[in-house]
């Protein structure tokens, strides 16, 4: 799997660079197929390969950061349009490149049969009633190529949340909103403090990033929606999954689903789940056509990590013991 970091495709003028995203997507398909070509695969017990084409997975990361960089909120109409446009671009370019590589490099083990159900499904326009194609790409021509020539890969795109990739890149997970503005994640190599870099920079530019604000964010469990001293524009841009209507997450998943090869890793976040609310969300997903309505249901527990308000500077974690400063965007010490 290869992940495209969406905030990297914002131009200096603050616009989405679709041309660069297209170029990098082609490079990603080339690279993943190169890895497959150089990888030794064990023979099955009978000593004969089944002849199935190998799947590759191209995904995206940092959609919430992309919206911040472009100056739009996560649930805005612009975000809704970009959610579909990015998924459509990645799917089209990945399929087009997989088809081209079949001619230049040949099949990995066996090409995807042009007339197979899988080959037709990947580029079928009407399999999703909600699918709205832009005028950027010639899907009809691509469908004709695939049905006559085939594909080198059986899958090319995926939607999956990976916390470790989020830590490494400093971006939000996949296409989800920010989970928390200050979080401690437990990974294979230990504990990692994760703060959105653009969020810290926004507070620094307003001269608001200090011990008190940091402690208040921890007290409010990673949210700034009740902090009046933070500008409303920052509060709107940095709403977490707990501050956004979950129907928005379902709607975004429905609208990008036609441009994905497999079911999505959809997560819902509810303060107080009940059969009525959960049933409405699952019904929305089912009626829209999602094969998997929800993979994870996160519940906000009533037991807060800090049940009482803390005076500024009370908490002293391992980083504070090494350096008595709140951190900065270039030196992001948090707790």
Q: What three-state secondary structure class fits 16? A: strand
311-328: pLDDT as tens digits? 555 444 444 444 445 555
- Cβ-contact 107, 151 below 8 angstroms: no
Q: Please give the model's pTM, rounded to 2 decimal places.
A: 0.81
Which residue would you say has higher pLDDT here, 198 or 129?
Answer: 198
**Residue 301 region by backbone torsions, left for phi larger than 0, else alpha for psi between -120 and 50, else beta:** beta
Mean pLDDT throughout 4-18? Answer: 91
User: Please, what is the angle between helix 246-256 and helix 275-288, to 10°?
Assistant: 20
Q: Is the pLDDT of residue 124 over 50?
A: no
β-bridge partners, 187: 190
Decide if 41 contacts 108 (C-beta within 8 A): no
With b for 16 or more beta-carbon neighbours within 10 A and e for fewer, the 52-72 pattern comes to ebbebbbbbbbbbbbbbbbeb
Q: Mean pLDDT: which of 126-130, 229-233, 270-274 is highest? A: 229-233
Give Cβ neighbours of residue 48 (< 8 Å, ≥ 6 apart): none
Buried residues in 189-198 as b, exposed as e (16+ CB within 10 A): eeeebbbbbb
């Amino acid at each position: 799997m290869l992940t495209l970091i969406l905030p990297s495709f914002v131009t200096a003028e603050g616009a989405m660079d679709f041309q660069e995203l297209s170029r990098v997507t082609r490079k990603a398909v080339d690279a993943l197929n190169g890895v497959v070509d150089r990888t030794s695969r064990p023979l099955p017990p009978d000593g004969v390969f089944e002849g199935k084409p190998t799947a590759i997975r191209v995904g995206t990361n940092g959609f919430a950061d992309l919206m911040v960089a472009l100056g739009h909120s996560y649930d805005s109409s612009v975000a809704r349009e970009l959610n579909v446009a990015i998924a459509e671009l990645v799917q089209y370019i990945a399929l087009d490149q997989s088809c081209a590589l079949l001619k230049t490099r040949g099949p990995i083990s066996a090409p995807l049969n042009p007339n197979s159900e899988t080959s037709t499904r990947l580029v079928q326009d009407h399999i999703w009633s909600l699918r709205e194609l832009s005028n950027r790409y010639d899907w009809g021509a691509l469908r004709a190529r695939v049905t006559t020539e085939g594909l080198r890969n059986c899958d090319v795109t995926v939607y999956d949340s990976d916390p470790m990739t989020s830590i490494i890149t400093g971006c939000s997970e996949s296409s989800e909103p920010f989970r928390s503005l200050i979080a401690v994640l437990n990974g294979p190599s230990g504990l990692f403090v994760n703060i959105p870099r653009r969020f810290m920079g926004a507070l620094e530019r307003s001269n608001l990033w200090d011990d008190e604000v940091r402690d208040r964010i921890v007290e409010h469990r990673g949210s700034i929606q009740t902090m009046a001293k933070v500008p409303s524009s920052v509060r709107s841009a940095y709403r977490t999954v707990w501050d956004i209507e979950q129907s928005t997450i379902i709607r975004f998943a429905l609208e990008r689903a036609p441009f994905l090869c497999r079911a999505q890793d959809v997560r819902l976040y509810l303060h107080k789940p009940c059969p009525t609310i959960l049933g409405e969300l699952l019904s929305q997903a089912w009626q829209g056509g999602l094969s998997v309505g929800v993979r994870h249901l996160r519940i906000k527990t009533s037991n807060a990590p800090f049940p009482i308000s803390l005076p500024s500077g009370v908490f002293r974690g391992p980083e504070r013991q090494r350096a008595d400063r709140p951190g900065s965007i270039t030196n992001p010490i948090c707790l």
